[in-house]
Amino acid sequence: MREEYIVALVMFGILIVGEIVTRNDKKWSAVLLLAASVAGSLAAGMGIRFREIVEGPFGFLDAALSVAAAAVFTGLLYRTGFLEKLLEKILKVRAKALKAILILLFIALPGAFTGLGSLCILTTGKLVGEKMKAKGIAQAKIVRTVMAGAFFGMMLPPNCLPAIIASNGAGSVLPTPYVGFFMPLLVLTLPSLILYALLNVKTLALEDETKESVKLPVFELVVFLLVVAAILVEGLLTSFVYIGGNTLAFFIGAVLLVFAKGGSVNAAVESLHDAVVPLGLLFALGSFIEVTSMTGIRGIYSLLTLPQTTGGQTALLMLILMAISLVIGLFLSVPIPAFLATYAVFPIGWLANPVIVTGVSAAVGLVYLFTLRGGLFTETAGMLEDKNTKWGESVKAMLLPALLMCALAVVMVLFGDPLDFLIM
């Protein structure tokens, strides 16, 4: 047997056994990825290669910086009470369908900014959950709503963790080109979000019994609108306008919010802490990918796939890896599907356009949603301290929107090149 296969067996063996033992606990995923990286370099007879293990995360650094800045900004919006007021304002909307969409978008907001579904659950999901509980809505419906919002938030632009992961396949260990994803992500996610909201208008369109008008705090509102405007301009007109990047917009917003009522450096630190576990996973995945490249696993993969992947067969390989990701992810959560997403993009490398990469990333996003343990369901049920709601009943409500997203993802993978007008 070739040495590379043995190294791959060791690395994946550690991940599989580790995920089973830790019951897919997401905070252990980073530890497992790092342990597998160390074991991989030892199995290849290269010793503990600190250089590669430390170097790997740098492929994700630029995107991670934007996620970290967005996490602080979003956390401060929550801790200053702005998001609570914003929810009250949304509840005043009269048109039920519009209100349902807006409430779902509200839950999704922190996820859209940061790319992290867990932040939606901890902030806006918690706020909407409390309101729903006060209205006497069944716990199962609350779990399903918060989980759906977190999923859509994670997939919406500007930051989307699955797309950031998949885009690493185009950049390898070089700084990841996470640029031009705004419209593709919007096209992938928005139809499913609207479909889910319209299918669940009764649950989502919460009635507002209070008659007092709600006033949003002016300073926080101005900062929020300026940051949103900067992100929209940057995202929709990437090819024409550059105003410093999302990282800068979020960071300036966060610094300003520190001085708002309720804002403080402590609040900023707490907000960043909420993003540490997903960022740790992202960086540890970088190490894992780097070690697979160093030990020749990537070389073997290229040797086996590249001669077969000419023309339309590249898309077929991507679709096969996406399907494998979904099956593995159902039982073993995110780490292996995340790795497979980058390897799905490797064959097209620098030629990958963000439309195709967005299509591939949907598989990782769907794993976060559908995994039996360690995904959005586990996290939502944990936050709401709900032990009665079953995984199946929550996931069932997401089937139609997920199928729509899946179909759009396949279209993006197959017709990514003609659809490149979406990269603005």
Partner 1 sequence: MLEIIYFLIISVMAVLLVVDIVKKHDVAELVCIAVVLVTFALRALHIK
**What is the binding site for partner 1 (CB under 8 A)?**
25, 27-28, 30-31, 34, 54-55, 57-58, 61, 64, 68, 276-277, 279-281, 283-284, 287
Q: Are 224 and 113 in contact (CB under 8 A)?
A: no
Q: Are 253 and 245 in contact (CB under 8 A)?
A: no
Residue 16 C-beta: closest distance to partner 1, Å = 18
Residue 38 C-beta: closest distance to partner 1, Å = 12
Residue 279 C-beta: closest distance to partner 1, Å = 5
User: Whose Cβ is closer to partner 1: residue 57's or residue 347's?
Assistant: 57
Helix axes 399-414, 354-370, angle to 10 degrees: 150
Tokens of 35: 């342990």
Tokens of 150: 């977190």
User: Whose Cβ is closer to partner 1: residue 246's or residue 314's?
Assistant: 246
User: Whose Cβ is closer to partner 1: residue 56's or residue 180's?
Assistant: 56
Residue 167 C-beta: closest distance to partner 1, Å = 17
Residue 378 C-beta: closest distance to partner 1, Å = 15
Residue 394 C-beta: closest distance to partner 1, Å = 25
Instruction: Tell me which residue of 116, 57, 188 sits closest to 375, measured CA to CA.
Output: 116
SS3 of the chain: helix, strand, coil, percent, to 5:
75, 0, 25
Q: CA 108, CA 119: separation in Å to the nearest integer? A: 9
User: Whose Cβ is closer to partner 1: residue 228's or residue 255's?
Assistant: 255
User: Whose Cβ is closer to partner 1: residue 231's or residue 279's?
Assistant: 279
User: Whose Cβ is closer to partner 1: residue 31's or residue 236's?
Assistant: 31
Residue 30 C-beta: closest distance to partner 1, Å = 5
Residue 276 C-beta: closest distance to partner 1, Å = 5
User: Whose Cβ is closer to partner 1: residue 187's or residue 277's?
Assistant: 277
Residue 274 C-beta: closest distance to partner 1, Å = 11
Q: CA 201, CA 99: separation in Å to the nearest integer? A: 8
User: Whose Cβ is closer to partner 1: residue 34's or residue 402's?
Assistant: 34
Residue 51 C-beta: closest distance to partner 1, Å = 10
Cis peptide before 158 (omega within 30 of 0): yes
Q: CA 194, CA 79: separation in Å to the nearest integer? A: 28
User: Whose Cβ is closer to partner 1: residue 234's or residue 274's?
Assistant: 274
Q: Are 181 and 160 in contact (CB under 8 A)?
A: yes
The answer to whether the Cα torsion of 402, 407, 413, 415 is positive or negative is negative
User: Whose Cβ is closer to partner 1: residue 31's or residue 98's?
Assistant: 31
Q: CA 357, CA 370: separation in Å to the nearest integer? A: 20
Tokens of 343: 């390897």
Q: Are 341 and 167 in contact (CB under 8 A)?
A: no
The answer to whether the Cα torsion of 279, 280, 283, 286 is positive or negative is negative
For the chain, the first-to-last Cα distance in angstroms comes to: 47
Q: Are 155 and 365 in contact (CB under 8 A)?
A: yes
Q: CA 264, CA 241: separation in Å to the nearest integer? A: 32
Q: CA 408, CA 322: separation in Å to the nearest integer? A: 13
Q: CA 351, CA 149: separation in Å to the nearest integer? A: 33
